[in-house]
Amino acid sequence: MAKIDFEKLRFVVVDDNTHMRRIVRTLLRAFGSREIYEAEDGASGLEAVDAYSPDILIADIKMPIFDGIELTQMIRNPEGPKHPFLPIIVLTAYSEKKHVIQARDAGATEFLCKPVSASALFRRIQNVIENPRPVIRTRNFFGPDRRRYINPNFGGEERRVADSSSYVVDLNSLS
């Protein structure tokens, strides 16, 4: 079985609730991670991302100053930031579909509803590492591919294959 070397993983956890940050930190430390940085609002979360260059960001939605959706949008802005491909796990007490869609459209990689459990958090982390999704760039979206599977019944315009050979950009093959 392939294992994750958590000791090499650096996290930033952004949540305005001290207790929730402590719970997440406890879980991450037990997984084996030693580098966990915390922030209590969207603004300091963005600063922490810039300062520590984490491998994974775990962010709440409902936070002061700016929320987790805005934080995600700022990180995904392809014009500005240094971390456009940073895996972002949104961890929130919002469970309604509209919030899942909102997070997805902002560019979140994974969505996890509170209450958080060890296995659910582990699965999300494992998934962003083992199965990184392609990133889609359109005029109004930059982020992980929002389609997780091919819908055989899709009847709309297929925008992804009609353009040109430059449709796919493999950053691993660029020098």
Binds another protein (CB under 8 A): choice among 44, 93, 100, 105: 93
C-beta separation of 130 from 148 below 8 A: no
Q: Does 78 bind another protein (CB under 8 A)?
A: yes
C-beta separation of 13 from 21 below 8 A: yes
Q: Does 119 bind another protein (CB under 8 A)?
A: yes
CB of 27 to another protein, least distance (A): 5
Rounded Cα distance between 81 and 37, Å, is 19
Rounded Cα distance between 115 and 56, Å, is 20
Binds another protein (CB under 8 A): choice among 23, 43, 65, 100: 23
Q: Which long-range contacts (CB under 8 A, 24 or more apart) does 115-120 make?
A: 116/20, 116/23, 116/24, 116/27, 116/91, 118/27, 118/30
Rounded Cα distance between 33 and 13, Å, is 12
Each residue 29-68 as x (binds another protein by CB under 8 A) or -, in order, gives xxxx--------------------x-x------x------
Binds another protein (CB under 8 A): choice among 34, 51, 101, 118: 118
Task: Decide whether 2 or 155 has the Cβ nearer to another protein.
Answer: 2
3-state SS assignment for residue 49? helix
Which stretches of the chain bind another protein, using CB under 8 A? Answer: 1-6, 8-9, 16-17, 19-20, 22-23, 26-27, 29-32, 53, 55, 62, 78, 82-87, 92-94, 114-116, 118-119, 121-123, 126, 128-130, 132, 134-139, 142, 145, 159-160, 163-164, 166-172, 174
